[in-house]
Amino acid sequence: MEETTYAPPTVPNPPPLHTYTDYSSIPSSILNSEKPTTIVFGIDEAGRGPIIGPMVYALAYCTLEFAMEELPNLEFADSKQLTEPKRWELMKDIVEKEEIQIGYAVTSLSPNDISVSMLRSSNVINLNEQAHSATIDLIRTVMEKIRAVNPETNFDAVYIDTVGPPASYTTKLRKFFTVEQINKIVVEKKADDTYPIVSAASVVAKVTRDWSVKCSAEIIGATWGSGYPSDPKTKAYINSNIHPWYGWDENIRYSWGTAKTALENSNAINMRWEHELVKKHGFDDVVGMFNKTDNEITKNWFVQ
């Protein structure tokens, strides 16, 4: 199956330039169960490294019975190891095949929100903290949705793939979810290689991001490759599409070093922010405002 033949429901048309969350319907094995069910979660992300496009966090879930008996036979693996057509086939199966009883939720963190959080003058929110917040919100909200239709549901485990320190992440999660709420919290590097439910989340995250980036490129007529800084097409796009005042549109992560270097190496206007002027120079009078250098403009009221 070619990727262009299937638009995943996790990406609105057109793809938003703001952060959003999308939820699947609850699988019938949970929704229609007349007895308490036991659920397992898997969480993975796609798009941590690129300078272009969103970072997508996906949570996949199913009953413990389905995870033990059916899921290992469904060819899920870390989405980066699957061929592109196979990823899209599996995503379509998750969405459309009744026998694949997997639910999901995704949070797509926009480039703009990622950058604004990282470029604050104070109370900076780094990428790991943004990832943790997205994960916690996904778990909490999906638990609430499931409990709303099946109050006696038990949550056996959440398996999370991480690139950061697993121990500190686990400790942080336990502050939000007690053992009574979620029996096991397993945070591991390469968890998508070990737990099929994490592999399913990996597929959802990767397909969601790929489709979002592809559609965004088509809308603006861009040829920007994968979005990773090492991709020659991405480099060429970043370096050849800089507006002297505005840089790029909101598909670009301005907090990335690649973006900063490209701006510094171009003829872009040197922006001075209000907090910088106050901190370093104090407030200027009216005459001082008109004596700015030709290559400097003050930008204080145009961003939040």
* Residue list for the binding site for a divalent metal cation: 44-45, 161
**Structure tokens given for 55:** 């970072």
The string of DSSP codes covering 84-144 is HHHHHHHHHHHHH-TTS--EEEEEEE-HHHHHHHHS-SSS---HHHHHHHHHHHHHHHHHH
Torsion sign over Cα 80, 85, 89, 95: positive
Residues whose CB falls within 8 Å of the CB of residue 237, separated by 6 or more in sequence, listed in order: 52, 222, 223, 224, 225
Question: Scanning the structure block, which residue is given the tokens 């899209």?
Answer: 88
Gyration radius (Cα) of the chain, Å? 22
Q: How far apart are CA 177 and CA 172, in angstroms?
A: 9
Which parts are annotated binding residues?
44-45, 161
Q: How far apart are CA 255 and CA 46, in angstroms?
A: 18
Bond preceding residue 14 cis, omega within 30 of 0? yes
Q: Which residues pair with 259 in a beta bridge?
A: none
Q: How far apart are CA 231 and CA 210, in angstroms?
A: 15
Q: How far apart are CA 105 and CA 22, in angstroms?
A: 6
Torsion sign over Cα 259, 264, 269, 271: positive
Q: How far apart are CA 298 and CA 289, in angstroms?
A: 9
Q: How far apart are CA 58 and CA 201, in angstroms?
A: 5
